[in-house]
Amino acid sequence: MPMLESIRVRNLRGISDSGSIEMKPITVLVGRNSSGKSTFARVLPLLRQSIEAKKKGPILWFGPMVDFGTFNNSVNRISANKVIEFDFSIRLFGDVKNGQMFDYYQRGFSPRLASDCLINVSVRVESNDNDNDKGSFASNIKFELFGNECEVVFNGGDRIKSIKANGYMWEPKEGAKTIVTQGALLPKISFIKQVSQRLGDTERKVWVQYNPLFDQLVDRLRIFAHGRTYRDTVEQMARYLFISDRKTFLHRMSELPGSPYSFMQTISLLKIGSLDFERVNDAFFAAAIPSLLDRIDSAIEACMSGVRYIEPLRATAQRYYRRQDLAVDEIDPKGNNVAVFVDSLDSNYMSDLNEWLGKYFGFHVAAKKSEGHIALAIKSLSSTSEEYTNMADLGVGYSQVLPIAIQLWMSSDFYFNGRRRSHIKGFFPCVVIEQPELHLHPAYQAQIADVLGAALERSREQEVNFTVFVETHSPNLINRLGQLIESGKIRTDDVQVLMFEQDEDNGATKISKSVFDDSGVLLNWPYGFFEA
C-alpha cells in the first residue's frame, strides 16, 4: 500500500503556501476565525470527494463532504498567479519477488519499480477559460523519483503541450493523436495513430494504440546494438527495464534478457553521467510517464479514500430514525447516520464500542428498535439507574461527541465487521475533525485528547497507519495532549500543532509549527495565544 508522508497546498483561499505539512499521527490546527485553518482542514475531504466522483476536471469543488464553491471562489484572490497547487510526498513500494528483481515480459510498456521510493508530486490546477462554468483542469504535473525530474504540461486539459524527463523534451507531432482523460485526480494519457491494414484485397486506415515515447527509447537503445539487430528484439529488451536509480538502471541494461553480445559489450563501457547513458535514462523515464501517472493517480486515490470527515455543526438527536438494513463503515460528516451505524453492529462490536464510550465518556449507547424505527438511547454510567434514555431528551453534547467517538473507534481498528481492512484498497485511515469541543464541558474537551491517544495506541497495536487532524479553539484539548506526553502515553513526535495567523499587511495566512517537548510543554508557542 502507498503511504502519504506529507502534503502542501498553494493559493487555496487565504493560504498562499502552507509549506510541506508532515502526516503526523496527531495534527492540531489552531488560530483565530478566518485565519485559514478550516480551509487547510478541508483539503483532505476535498481530495477525497474529488477522487470518488466522475468529473470533467481534477477537483470537485462542491460535493458531499465540503463546499469550496468553484475554482474562482477557491483561488487566492491576492495572488497574481491564478493557479492552485497540491503537492504530495508519497511512499511507493517496489515490485519485487523474494527480495529480487524478476524478469517479466508484457506486450505494452508499463515498467515496474525496482525498489521502494519516495515520489514528490506537484499538481497545478487552473481555470478553464473555454468552460462557461469556469471549470478547472490540471495544467501542469511535476514529479520527482530516483533523482529524475519529470513534467507534463497540458493545454486546456484535453491536449498535451509537452512531456519532459530531465533533459529530454517531447512535443506532439502531426500524424499522432493524444488522448487525455480524467483519472481519479490526475489525467490519463494514451496515444493512437493511423496505420494501413489489409483485409484480403482491401486496404484501409485504422487507429491503433502505441507509445511514441517508447519508440524513441527503442531508437536510442538500438544505437548500442549491432546494425543487423532486429527492431523487435530491441523492443522486447526495452520492456524488461525497471524504474530505478541510475546505478540500478545501468546494471539492468547490462543484463537485459535476449540482449545480443554486441549490445552487452557496448553497455559495459557506459558510465553514469555520460551523454549516451543519460540520453537513454531520460528517454526511458519519458516513455514511462503515462504508466507512472497511472500509478501516482492510483496511489493518491488509495491514500485519499481512507479520509473520514466530521464537520463542526453536527446533527442534533432525533427522537426516531427510519431503520435501514445497512452495514455502515463510515460516519457521515454531520453524523446523521449514527443510529443506522449503531443498529448495524453485531453484539461483539456493540460491546467493544460501549467499552470505549464508557471508558472515555462515561456512557453507553443502544439502538432501540420499534416498528421500523430506531431510537438512539443513552445510559450514563454515573447513574444508579439501568434505564436507557432517548438521546433527544438529553443535552446536545451527546449528539455532538458521539460521531467523533465512534469514528475514532472505528478508524483505528485493524478489523471491522469481520474484514481485515488493511487488505481493502486505500486503507489509510485519516480522520479530520472540526471543532470537536462544540457544546462540550471543558472536562469533555480534554477527554477528546484521551480518545485521540487511545485511538493512536490501538492503531499501533494493530499496525494501522492512523492519522488525525483536529481543528480546535480549545486550550483544554491541547493542554491535555501535553499531559499525555508528560505521562508517556503518547510520544513527542506523535503530535504537531499548526498555528494559523493572518498577515496584517496583506491578509495572507501564515502557518507556523509548534511541538511538545518531553515534559509536555509546547515549544515556539506565542505568549497569550488563546487570550482575548
- Single residue among 304, 334, 363 that ends a domain in this structure: 304
State mean pLDDT over 113-130: 89
The answer to whether residue 10 sits within a structural domain is no
Measured on CA atoms in the order 435, 436, 439, 443, is the torsion positive or negative?
negative
| 81 and 100 fall within a common domain | yes
| 278 and 338 fall within a common domain | no
3-class state of residue 459 by DSSP: helix
CA distance 356 to 354: 5
Q: pLDDT band at residue 383, thresholds of 50, 70 and 90?
A: confident
- Single residue among 254, 289, 304 that ends a domain in this structure: 304
Q: pLDDT band at residue 278, thresholds of 50, 70 and 90?
A: very high
**C-alpha cell recorded at residue 23:** 502526516
State mean pLDDT over 323-329: 70
pLDDT tens, residue by residue, 12-49: 999 999 999 999 999 999 998 888 999 999 999 999 99
Residues 455/408, Cβ–Cβ less than 8 Å: yes
State mean pLDDT over 412-429: 54
Residues 134/71, Cβ–Cβ less than 8 Å: yes
| 272 and 348 fall within a common domain | no
What was the pLDDT predicted at 133? 55
> Domain of 392?
307-514
pLDDT above 70 coverage of the chain, percent: 93
| 237 and 340 fall within a common domain | no
Q: Which of 348-352, 438-442, 505-509 comes out lowest in average pLDDT? A: 505-509
3-class state of residue 165 by DSSP: strand
Q: Give how many domains the chain has, as a whole number.
A: 2
- Single residue among 253, 282, 304 that ends a domain in this structure: 304
The answer to whether residue 523 sits within a structural domain is no
| 268 and 166 fall within a common domain | yes
pLDDT at 426 over 50: no
The answer to whether residue 112 sits within a structural domain is yes
pLDDT at 191 over 60: yes
pLDDT at 427 over 60: no
| 355 and 471 fall within a common domain | yes
pLDDT at 415 over 70: no
Crossing angle of helices 275-304 and 212-222, rounded to 10°: 150
CA distance 337 to 278: 57
pLDDT at 100 over 90: no
The answer to whether residue 528 sits within a structural domain is no
| 234 and 314 fall within a common domain | no
pLDDT at 423 over 70: no
State mean pLDDT over 165-180: 88
Q: pLDDT band at residue 202, thresholds of 50, 70 and 90?
A: confident
The answer to whether residue 474 sits within a structural domain is yes
| 443 and 324 fall within a common domain | yes
- Within 346-395, where are the H helices? 347-361
The answer to whether residue 19 sits within a structural domain is no
What was the pLDDT predicted at 106? 55
The answer to whether residue 393 sits within a structural domain is yes
Supply the CATH number for residue 506's domain.
3.40.50.300
The answer to whether residue 505 sits within a structural domain is yes
Q: Which amino acid is at 530?
A: F
Q: pLDDT band at residue 321, thresholds of 50, 70 and 90?
A: confident
| 132 and 205 fall within a common domain | yes
